Amino acid sequence: MAPPRGEGTIAHMPPLADTVRRNLESVESRIAGAATKAGRDPSDITLVGVAKYVDAAATAALVEAGCSVIGESRPQQLWSKAEAPELAGKPIEWRLIGHLQRNKIDRTLPIAREIQSVDSERLLRAIDASAAKQGLTARVLLEANCSGDAEKHGFSSEELKRLLPELPMLKSVEVCGLMTMAAREGGPTVARQNFAALRELRDTLRAEAPPGLTLDELSMGMSGDFEEAILEGATSVRVGSALWSRIE
């Protein structure tokens, strides 16, 4: 007798933890391969596991599999996950990788180890003021619009060059580097061009930077193009869907 409709499929689905572990191993292997191709040490590249697609239980499975740096795009999701019982006591370093509104800064700063998406001078100064008020030092990356897409957030290269001399004046913010997102169209070839543009912009800024401002970090690359990003110098890649594929 044939099993009821759907029963056979469910019976053969691997447990969530097994699927997450296999996906993580695959992503880590691809990171290592791209790093080797670029003549780089894979340990110099941080994998940010993007958990915006999944609930706290799935996020816990990813952490248990070995990915402790977790990225969230929305502050509300970050707050909720940080308070979830499933994640209590786990060694998580949270990253905010999406747009941050100024009215959400105060609650976000004590949770996020790093904000990778600072896209305006106004937001940067608001973070500095909030961090000072809370006795914190906020680690941030400045988001650059290297693709030219009008709908994307981020500084232009000219805006970053104008802002550069003022960065050391921030009292409670550590500007660690830059972040970008590749163009929606054009595939890996265009993505790699965008990533090269960010690296070149960083190198230009670094040559003109005031003492103490190194801009070492480059966050670029997602599930569809993180290997291209590594080839162009990414120190942090933000991977989501490749970690959650085949999870129902």
pLDDT tens-digit profile of 87-146?
999 999 999 999 999 999 999 999 999 999 999 999 999 999 999 999 999 999 999 999
List the Cα angle 130/114/241 in 5-degree steps: 135
Question: Residue 182 domain-assigned?
Answer: yes
Tell me the DSSP string of 185-198: SSHHHHHHHHHHHH
Residue 9 in this model has a pLDDT that exceeds 60: no
Question: Residue 172 domain-assigned?
Answer: yes
Question: Residue 49 domain-assigned?
Answer: yes
Question: Residue 20 domain-assigned?
Answer: yes
Question: Residue 4 domain-assigned?
Answer: no
Tokens of 143: 């988001």
Question: Residue 1 domain-assigned?
Answer: no
pLDDT tens-digit profile of 218-239?
999 999 999 999 999 999 999 9
- Phi–psi pair at 118, nearest 5 degrees: -80, 115
Question: Residue 3 domain-assigned?
Answer: no
| pLDDT, average across residues 73-97 | 97
Q: Give me the chain's average pLDDT, please.
A: 92
CATH of the domain at 225: 3.20.20.10
CA dist., res. 18 & res. 20, Å (int): 6
Listed in order, strand segments (DSSP E) in 27-186 are 46-50, 69-72, 93-96, 112-118, 138-143, 173-179
Q: Count structural domains, the chain.
A: 1
| pLDDT, average across residues 72-94 | 97
30-33: list long-range contacts, CB under 8 Å, 24+ apart: 30/226, 30/227, 31/226, 31/227, 31/230, 31/237, 33/227
pTM of the model: 0.91
Question: Residue 2 domain-assigned?
Answer: no
| pLDDT, average across residues 208-219 | 95
- Domain residues for 69? 13-37+45-244
